[in-house]
Chain A
Amino acid sequence: MLATAVLVFREVLEAALIIAVVLGASRGVSGRGWWVSAGVGLGVLGACLVAIFAAGIGSAFSGTGQTLLNAAILLTAVLMLAWHNIWMNSHGRKMASDIKAVGDAVRAGNKTLVALLIVTFTAVMREGSEVVLFLWAVATSGGQEYGMIIGGFAGLAAGVLVGALIYRSLLFIPIRHFFSVTGWLILLLTAGLAAQAAGFLNQAGLLPAFGNSLWNTSGILSQQSILGQLLHVLVGYIARPSGIELIFYVVTLVSIFALMRLVKTRVHRPGPSRTEPRAPAETRLTSP
């Protein structure tokens, strides 16, 4: 029962953390609850499908099908989050300190709701499929049905609770810094997902490792610990990273950051953008 609770908790936590950050980033956008709920619903459906067809997926591509699917899912999430961040940065004017800037951020957020739905969907599908397979394994091994149900629900509740706590603590950030912080959070989270995708592509034999265990910090912070896992999801912490994981992390971080800068200056330079006629007033606040 405890084993079930712990496994379900760990998988749910990963998805819940991503959803917490997504909910933070879409703060104030009307209808975001529906979009994120739809993402969760589709994710659960997808998780069941992946679990049902696990054998077929696993044997695809000479036995690397599941690994490749994980990489593809992660890279999709990376693209969606990158788009969200670049778009929000060019239209959200998050550095501005007046309340109107928040309104702009909210309007900009409307455009990327579909990206956030896809990110939620992929997170739930990836973690959920493991939960389904695990519960199935426990259920068919017999004799532990009650323990499994109780453990499963306890794990689910605990995972959702931690996700909710993270979201609640995000809300304590002063509103004028809020979208700046969520922007950075998404940037780091995205780089971490890209590093994970690199790990899977290496696992499938498609990319070289460029050195395994570049460093080993599992003695200081084990990836198995709660904090290690929190940081793994939120900022991409890996205790023993490979070279390719580090490269993907750095390249993703730098590229998104550069694109955010580039698109922002391009949007600001021509004066009034198409979003608001009052744009020049805000430009004064953002440009040094």
Chain B
Amino acid sequence: MLTRFARLALLACLPILTGPVFAADAPSPQLNIRNQQFVPGQLTVAAGAKIELLVVNEDALPAEFESYDLSREVVVPGHSQVKIFIGPLKPGKYRFFNDFHQQSEGWIVVAAPGAAN
């Protein structure tokens, strides 16, 4: 019963395992936090590409870059920067916000293939 369960689980994973793997040179857009606002408020990236996002906190206050849409969360201490990898994403709008200052939010817009490049 157990082996059947394991085999089923493996089978369930197969379509995922054949999906896209690492992109070698990821585009690296930058997102700043300035006066507790995200600058720019909207980042446009290409569909299907892995991106290396640099989040730079120019404020003295710590912030937390968080997104339920992207399943991402990272603390960005004051006057410092962190790097997170995102994607590859399907076309659409993905909301992110500062968990420590929830009024500040921004969007990652993934353009449809062809439109971006």
Residues of A within 8 A of B (CB): 3, 7, 54-55, 58-59, 62-67, 129-130, 133-134, 136-138, 140-141, 199, 202-205, 208-214, 218, 222-224, 238-243, 245-247, 250-251, 254, 257-258, 261
Contacts and interface: CB of A to CB of B under 8 A. Distances in A.
A212 B90 contact: yes
Given A208-B21, A212-B87, A243-B16, A137 B63 contact: yes
A163 B6 CA distance: 34
A243 B52 contact: no
Nearest to A251: B9
B89 A66 contact: no
A239 B78 contact: no
Given A210-B16, A213-B90, A250-B12, A64 B61 contact: no
27 contacts: A55-B78, A58-B81, A59-B81, A62-B83, A63-B82, A63-B83, A64-B83, A65-B82, A67-B82, A134-B62, A137-B100, A137-B101, A138-B100, A203-B74, A205-B52, A208-B20, A210-B17, A210-B19, A212-B89, A213-B90, A239-B68, A245-B71, A247-B13, A247-B16, A251-B9, A254-B9, A261-B2
B102 interface: yes
Contact of A67 (B50, B52, B62, B74): B74
Contacts of B81: 58-59, 63
Given A7-B100, A54-B75, A211 B84 contact: no
A133 B84 contact: no
B91 to A, nearest CB: 11
B83 to A, nearest CB: 3
Nearest to B103: A3
